[in-house]
């Protein structure tokens, strides 16, 4: 496809392939689990009781992981009506300002994601309301490794984490720190990609952080049919 | 006062080129940190739970995926052929067929831009070949494409249902009559213009062509039966319907139309039959085309959900500061009549639609207006349809309109020319909006008939 | 909004604020705290899941982002398995037995059983006894065989439906009405007030008065926050909570009977069971207890049964 992101190094291509395949696989799994559950319920009067919860987690993984990819390939929607009216130097200043805001946003969300996830993994949150000023002193409520999800059963091959995370008590369902791990991971990637994008704008390799509408790639693919008079 | 600053900040950030999602999320985060004692952890939780905690929104990726398979797999082409066979011989026939094709594709797809891309790219080229002006063609398609969110399924309706806890199934049913009506109004307008301006009309190709084209398109169109029949026939929930639609679309494109996947052959060559290559039943799941379609749909889901998740953070601010209650109290104390309230809703949405992606806008506006609407005795389903129609109009009004962008891209003409071209039909949609706003029956008749009167349980 | 210097108490719940038993109790609590503790404390109630749903709210509470919540008892499974006691079918004969058990030594101890995980139970709030409904008459337990039931997310309730030969289906609450109507699921179990409030009776053949279980709530707080309060503030809050609980719990039976009557008045069918029929339901569902005895503790079951025998 013409609007497709083309990485310029071998490592870049490998990483890109991994990212795109991950997005495809997550969406494919969501669809399959949901579909299988319909078949099981309607056809066989049964179902995977954990299917719904697993699908919602995959959905969260898809989006939380995917946002950094969307930044990398500049796929996020924005409004360019006003910035198009300015001269290129002004536009560049605005784009740098926008990048700074995006970096600040990703930074705050990354801190929030860590603080949210850490206790589920028996790790300390950061202190400080805006900026991390240190690590909390662990108290009784800071250990939440025991906190399980609602439906997804604990697989046998994961039992080795029980002594590490749950004082040796066995898990009935998987602990929450597993599905929630995507949050700090995804937000760290998002921060990284926004910093990269900011640098590209600084160097003049990229003009802005946005596309003006959601179907831009698809439009490019078909636009040739109506070019010329 | 604080709210005004919040909204000014959101709009200001958008205008300097910050992505919509970040504008919403960053402004809301700053507000929560300054005004309330909410922690950053809680904001991260909101972000994650936008997906993990909203079962209804799960329908969005599935409908996007179904639509992607349909676009890649050659359904649009077949729908257009069928439409031409049916209405192509009227004055303005190809334009009318374009609208008709948009209506059919809208019944398979949940989004408006997707409808414009799928149908517009082919129909606009076709119309120009038989002598229509490029402007007329673009104007028709930009408008008809907006039906994508009115005729079920509809991503915007899913978001509305999720934001207000009404049933998705009801919203879908509610869109049927308005969708058919808007399409008919557009087609009638073209017919009248065609009579006056003597626009080209096609040949009647005979019933044979109607049936043959119908049979060919039928595999794709059967999806309508699956979605609506499945939901109202008690086989699956609306969310599951979307997943089933995606799986069905995959099978149709890979094994029936074979325009994608292991059985596809380059342009001009006959696609392989499954008999010739039965292994395709397995390889189709891992074929590059399948992966690419999943990936494209996934990417679109990500950008859309990024906006919705951040809009939900903004909603968190509004809830936390109890804004909906104060606005509701102020409006009700002012003795607002229901019709005046609906005008205000129309205006808010038309202005908001200039900056925001429709789903994100619904997430923010629905909680603000919903409680007032209930107090004033407005049916929640009716309110939902009004909001959807407003979104449609927002998509084709300058300065910012999703469908305008897409049409200008697809038609290869400047935005302002598309705007002018769309104007006469936009007038039709405005009349339509007024009808929808003040005749609740149009929206509520089908859901009430099939599902009983709407209950407000909250 | 709250004044400066007041202790802000955020209370997030998932029902309406003026018709549902929990919503009414929360509203009453808010009114009394804001009137009697003005200047000291200020309560903000967020109804209708506008801030958090029942699962998220407990996470938010441990994080310190919300101070009060009242999820249904089955939502505490992750904190302590002893709460599975309340989901076991036919554990209690009626709401009076439930009430007496909750106020007994064993019941009161359960409120404090989650402190090691950060939660402190303050009060039990009644909704009422659960009834069963489906798209066909349920008279004998075998009538439920092969039916799909929407249940709350709880292992006990899933096991209970499986014992009936039914298939348990988890489902978002907002989708239940539509799913019952179209037949995606065949039946559900709920209290009279929920069945009337959600209009489930409109899309079911009838409601069978099984009284087979309970739906109650636990008013719960973050134990660290609670202990951080000044003793006199804490005592005053606790007193108001106890009084509100007594008033609303006393009214809960009445509310459910009114809703039961309202269902009949609206044309819904209510089926009563004979003693013999009910015994059959007990016989089929009670074996579920065995699966969960280890979780709940035999001594707790015994205590509950001792109280039950008096009613
Ligand atoms: Na549609
Ligand atoms: Na617009």
What's the confidence (pLDDT) of residue A2? 38
Taking CB atoms within 8 Å and a gap of at least 24, the contacts of B410-414 are B410/A219, B410/A222, B410/A223, B410/A226, B410/B116, B410/B117, B410/B120, B410/B121, B410/B124, B410/B141, B411/A226, B411/B120, B411/B124, B411/B134, B411/B137, B411/B138, B411/B141, B412/A223, B412/A226, B412/A227, B412/A228, B413/B134, B413/B135, B413/B138
Q: For residues C143 and C136, give the distance between their C-alpha atoms in angstroms, rounded to a whole number.
A: 8
pLDDT in tens for each of the 458 residues of chain B? 788 899 899 989 988 989 989 999 999 999 999 988 889 999 999 999 999 988 888 889 998 998 888 877 778 888 888 998 888 888 888 889 989 999 998 888 888 888 888 888 788 888 877 778 888 888 888 888 889 899 988 999 999 988 888 888 889 999 999 999 999 999 999 999 888 887 777 778 888 888 988 888 888 888 888 888 888 888 888 888 889 999 998 988 888 877 777 777 666 666 777 767 777 777 777 778 889 889 989 998 998 899 999 999 998 888 888 888 888 888 888 888 888 888 888 888 888 877 777 888 898 889 888 888 888 888 999 999 999 998 888 888 876 677 787 788 778 778 788 888 888 888 999 999 999 998 999 999 998 887 766 655 54
- Percent pLDDT > 70 in chain A is 91
| pLDDT, position C271 | 95
- pLDDT tens, residue by residue, A161-208: 999 998 888 999 999 999 999 999 999 999 999 999 999 999 988 888
* H/E element, B235: none
Cβ <8 Å between C63 and B41: yes
Nearest to B319 among C15, C51, C178 (CB): C51
Residues C28, C250: Cα–Cα separation, whole Å: 14
Q: Does C222 touch chain A (CB under 8 A)?
A: yes
Q: Model confidence over C26-43: pLDDT tens digits?
A: 999 999 999 999 889 999
pLDDT, tens digit (0-9, with 9 covering 90-100), for C247-291: 999 998 888 899 999 999 988 999 999 999 999 999 999 999 999
Residues with CB under 5 A from ligand 2 (ion): B 353-354, 394, 397, 400-401
Q: How many other CB atoms are found less than 10 A from the CB of residue B414?
A: 10
CA separation for the pair A126, C193 (Å, rounded):
44
pLDDT score for B267: 66
Burial tier of C39 (Cβ tally within 10 Å: 0-12, 13-18, 19+): exposed
CA B148 to ligand 1 center in whole angstroms: 4
User: Measured between CB atoms, which of C1, C53, C198 is closest to B457?
Assistant: C198
- According to the model, what pLDDT value does residue A228 have? 54
> Across residues C52-58, what is the average pLDDT?
88
pLDDT recorded at residue B323: 85
Query: Which residue of C61, C118, C144, C172 to mutate against A (max A Cβ within 10 Å)?
Result: C118
- d(CA A98, ligand 2 centre) in Å: 23
| Token pair for A134 | 């240190």
By CA distance, what is C202's nearest residue in B? B452
Check CB contact under 8 Å for B170 and C178: yes
Min Cα distance B85 → chain A (Å) is: 22
Among all residues of chain A, which has the CA nearest to that of C81?
A172
Q: Is C102 exposed, middle or buried (0-12, 13-18, 19+ CB in 10 A)?
A: buried
ipTM score: 0.91
Q: Which residues contact A27 (CB under 8 A, 6 or more apart)?
A: A62, B61, B65, B294, B295, B297, B298, B301
CB spacing of A41 vs C148 below 8 angstroms: yes
Domains of chain A, by residue range, sit at 10-227
Contact residues, chain B, for C202 at CB < 8 Å = 452
- Pick the range with the lowest mean pLDDT from A3-7, A91-95, B69-73: A3-7
Question: Chain C closest CA to B259's CA: distance in Å?
Answer: 34
Minimal Cα–Cα distance from A192 to chain B, Å? 15
A46 touching C (Cβ < 8 Å): yes
Q: Is the Cβ pair B56, C174 closer than 8 Å? A: yes
Q: Which residue of A has its CA nearest to C145?
A: A45
Q: Out of C59, C62, C167, whose CB is closest to A45?
A: C167
Q: Above 80 in pLDDT, residue A52? A: yes
Please report the pLDDT score of residue B110 as a whole number.
Answer: 84
Q: Does residue C289 contact residue C159 with C-beta atoms inside 8 Å?
A: no
Q: For residues A53 and A172, is the Cβ–Cβ distance under 8 A?
A: no
Mutation to test the B interface, candidates C11, C34, C56, most B Cβ within 10 Å: C56
Cβ–Cβ contact C113 with A under 8 A: no
Distance between CA atoms of residues A157 and B296, nearest Å: 34
**Considering every ligand atom, which ligand is closest to the CA of B356?**
2
User: For residue C168, which phi and psi values (nearest 5 degrees)?
Assistant: -75, 135
- The predicted pLDDT at position A95 comes to 93
pTM: 0.91
Q: What are phi and psi of C121, to 5 degrees?
A: -75, 135
Over residues C121-172, the pLDDT tens digits come to 999 999 999 999 999 999 999 999 999 999 888 889 999 999 999 988 877 7
């Amino acid at each position: 496809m013409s609007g497709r992101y083309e990485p310029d190094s071998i490592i870049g291509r490998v990483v890109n392939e991994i990212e795109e395949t991950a997005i495809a696989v997550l969406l494919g799994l969501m669809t399959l689990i949901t579909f299988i559950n319909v078949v099981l319920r309607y056809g066989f009067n049964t179902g995977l009781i954990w299917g719904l919860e697993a699908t919602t987690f995959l959905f969260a993984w898809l989006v939380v992981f995917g946002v950094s990819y969307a930044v990398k390939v500049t796929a996020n929607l924005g409004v360019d009506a006003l910035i198009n009216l300015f001269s290129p130097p002004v536009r560049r200043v605005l784009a740098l300002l926008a990048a700074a805001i995006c970096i600040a946003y990703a930074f705050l969300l990354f801190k929030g994601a860590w603080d949210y996830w850490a206790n589920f993994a028996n790790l300390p949150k950061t202190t400080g309301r805006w900026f991390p000023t240190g690590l909390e002193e662990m108290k009784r409520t800071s250990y939440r490794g025991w906190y399980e999800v609602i439906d997804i059963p604990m697989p046998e091959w994961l039992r080795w984490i029980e002594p590490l995370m749950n004082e040796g008590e066995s898990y009935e369902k998987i602990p929450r720190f597993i599905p929630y791990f995507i949050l700090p991971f995804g937000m760290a990637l998002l921060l990284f990609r926004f910093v990269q994008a900011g640098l590209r704008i600084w160097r003049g390799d990229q003009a802005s952080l946005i596309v003006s509408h959601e179907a831009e790639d698809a439009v490019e693919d078909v636009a040739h049919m109506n070019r010329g008079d | 006062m604080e709210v005004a600053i919040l909204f000014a900040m959101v709009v200001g950030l958008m205008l300097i080129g910050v992505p919509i999602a970040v504008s919403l999320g960053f402004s809301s985060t700053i507000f929560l940190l300054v005004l309330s004692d909410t922690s950053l952890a809680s904001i991260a939780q909101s972000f994650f739970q936008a997906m993990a905690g909203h079962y209804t929104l799960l329908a969005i990726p599935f409908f996007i995926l179904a639509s992607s398979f349909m676009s890649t797999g050659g359904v649009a082409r077949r729908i257009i052929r069928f439409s031409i066979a049916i209405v192509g011989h009227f004055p303005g026939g190809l334009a009318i067929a374009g609208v008709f094709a948009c209506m059919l594709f809208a019944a398979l797809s949940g989004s408006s831009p997707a409808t414009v891309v799928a149908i517009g790219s082919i129909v606009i080229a076709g119309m120009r070949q038989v002598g229509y002006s490029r402007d007329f063609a673009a104007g028709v398609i930009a408008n008809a494409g907006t039906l994508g969110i009115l005729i079920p399924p509809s991503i915007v309706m899913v978001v509305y249902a999720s934001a207000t806890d009404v049933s998705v199934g009801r919203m879908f049913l509610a869109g049927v009559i308005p969708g058919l009506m808007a399409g008919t109004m557009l087609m009638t307008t073209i017919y009248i213009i065609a009579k006056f301006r003597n626009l080209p009309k096609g040949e009647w190709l005979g019933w044979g062509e109607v049936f043959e084209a119908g049979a060919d398109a039928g595999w794709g169109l059967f999806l309508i039966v699956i979605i609506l029949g499945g939901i109202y026939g008690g086989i699956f929930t609306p969310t599951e319907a979307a997943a089933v639609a995606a799986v069905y679309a995959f099978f149709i494109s890979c094994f029936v139309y074979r325009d994608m996947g292991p059985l596809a052959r380059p342009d001009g060559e006959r696609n392989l039959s499954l008999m010739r290559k039965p292994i395709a039943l397995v390889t189709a799941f891992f074929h590059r085309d399948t992966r690419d379609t999943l990936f494209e749909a996934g990417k679109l889901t990500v950008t859309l959900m990024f906006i919705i998740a951040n809009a939900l953070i903004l909603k968190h601010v509004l809830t936390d500061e109890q804004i909906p209650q104060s606005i509701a109290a102020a409006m009700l104390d002012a003795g607002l009549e229901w019709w005046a309230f609906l005008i205000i809703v129309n205006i808010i949405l038309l202005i908001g639609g200039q900056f925001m992606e429709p789903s994100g806008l619904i997430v923010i506006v629905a909680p603000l207006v919903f409680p007032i609407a209930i107090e004033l005795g407005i049916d929640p389903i009716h309110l939902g349809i009004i909001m959807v129609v407003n979104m449609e109009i927002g998509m084709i009004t300058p300065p910012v309109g999703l469908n305008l962008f897409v049409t200008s891209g697809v038609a290869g003409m400047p935005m302002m020319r598309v705007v002018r071209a769309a104007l006469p039909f936009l007038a039709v949609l405005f009349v339509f909006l007024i009808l929808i706003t003040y005749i609740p029956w149009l929206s509520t008749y089908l859901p009430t008939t099939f599902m009983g009167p709407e209950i407000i349980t909250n | 909004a709250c004044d400066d210097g007041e202790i802000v108490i955020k209370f997030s719940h998932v029902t309406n604020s003026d018709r549902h038993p929990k919503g009414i109790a929360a509203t009453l609590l808010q009114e009394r705290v804001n009137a009697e503790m003005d200047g000291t404390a200020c309560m903000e109630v967020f109804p209708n899941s506008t801030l958090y749903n029942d699962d998220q709210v407990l996470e938010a509470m441990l994080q310190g982002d919300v101070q009060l919540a009242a999820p249904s008892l089955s939502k505490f499974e992750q904190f302590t398995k002893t709460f599975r006691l309340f989901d076991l079918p036919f554990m209690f004969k009626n709401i009076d037995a439930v009430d007496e058990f909750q106020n007994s030594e064993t019941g009161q101890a359960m409120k404090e059983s989650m402190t090691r995980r950060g939660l402190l139970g303050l009060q039990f709030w009644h909704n009422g006894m659960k009834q069963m409904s489906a798209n066909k008459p349920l008279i004998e337990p075998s009538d439920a065989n092969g039916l799909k039931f929407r249940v709350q997310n709880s292992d006990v309730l899933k096991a209970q439906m499986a014992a009936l030969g039914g298939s348990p289906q988890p489902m978002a609450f907002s989708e239940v009405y539509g799913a019952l109507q179209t037949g995606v699921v065949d039946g559900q179990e709920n209290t009279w007030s929920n069945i009337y409030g959600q209009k489930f009776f409109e899309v079911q053949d009838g409601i069978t008065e099984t009284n087979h279980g309970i739906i109650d709530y636990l008013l719960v707080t973050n134990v660290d926050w609670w202990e951080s309060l000044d003793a006199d503030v804490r005592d005053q809050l606790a007193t108001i909570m106890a009084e509100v609980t007594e008033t609303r719990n006393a009214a809960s039976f009445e509310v459910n009977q009114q809703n039961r009557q309202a269902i009949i008045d609206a044309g819904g069918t209510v089926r009563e069971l004979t003693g013999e029929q009910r015994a059959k339901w007990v016989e089929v569902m009670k074996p579920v207890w065995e699966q969960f005895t280890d979780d709940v503790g035999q001594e707790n079951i015994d205590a509950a049964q001792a109280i039950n025998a008096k009613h």
